[in-house]
Amino acid sequence: MFRFLRPDAQARSLADVSIDALCEGQTLGVIVDLDNTLVGYRQDCLPADHQTWLEHARSRGLRLVLLSNNFPERVGTVAQAAGIACVASALKPLPGAFRRALALLETPAARTVVIGDQLFTDVLGAKLCGMRTILTEPLVEHDFATTRVLRFFERLVMPERRT
């Protein structure tokens, strides 16, 4: 069970994920989480360094999709601003929406990386679908009530994590 909760790498934020390393690792597609990974909890505005990261990734040929458990209105707003496709109401870690995201990307799971800030949604779901994962630190300390519960268990599984 624990191997499904072990990210392949960690980064402080999306902007710190090395696009060179992704490309060198034969990555073709990237699935990005929304809340507290791409934008802060309850924030609509994309940080400038994340917009730059998305543009850089796209210029290197990486395919991108936003995957979020949040509602379609919020996810669609941010995805439109970011200029990328999205899958909302994902029910992560269940595999269904990860598979929909893969279908949008048209990339094989083995060459797709999931980047997100939660072990029990982003990392677990990615691992269940055979994808690599990069765990980021949450952008802000605020979280949904359900996420705050999961954070407690994250600290049990990964006590070395700083959050």
What is the closest distance, in whole angstroms, from the C-beta atom of residue 144 to Mg ion in the complex?
9
Here's the x/- map for Mg ion, 55-94, by CB under 5 A: it reads as ----------------------------------------
Is 33 a binder of Mg ion (CB under 5 A)? yes
Of residues 107 through 126, those in contact with Mg ion by CB under 5 A are 117
Answer left, alpha or beta for residue 86, where phi above 0 means left and psi between -120 and 50 means alpha: beta
35 binds Mg ion (CB under 5 A): yes
To the nearest whole angstrom, how small is the minimum distance from the Cβ of residue 116 to Mg ion? Answer: 5
Reduce the DSSP state of residue 108 to 3 states and report it: coil
**Of 117 and 154, which CB lies nearer to Mg ion in the complex structure?**
117
CA distance 84 to 54: 9
Report how many residues bind Mg ion under the rule CB under 5 A: 5
d(CA 18, CA 22) in angstroms, rounded, equals 6
Instruction: Find the shortest distance in angstroms from Cβ 36 to Mg ion.
Output: 4
Which conformational region is residue 60 in: left (phi greater than 0), alpha (psi within -120 to 50 degrees), or beta?
Answer: alpha
DSSP string, 41-92: TT--SPPHHHHHHHHHHHHTT-EEEEE-SS-HHHHHHHHHHHT-EEE-S--T
* Burial tier of 139 (Cβ tally within 10 Å: 0-12, 13-18, 19+): buried
Closest separation between CB of residue 41 and Mg ion, Å? 8
Segment lying near Mg ion (by CB under 5 A), choices 6-14, 27-35, 53-61, 100-108: 27-35
Closest contact distance (angstroms) between CB of 102 and Mg ion is 19
| Residue 36 touching Mg ion (CB under 5 A) | yes
Q: Which residues bind Mg ion (CB under 5 A)?
A: 33, 35-37, 117
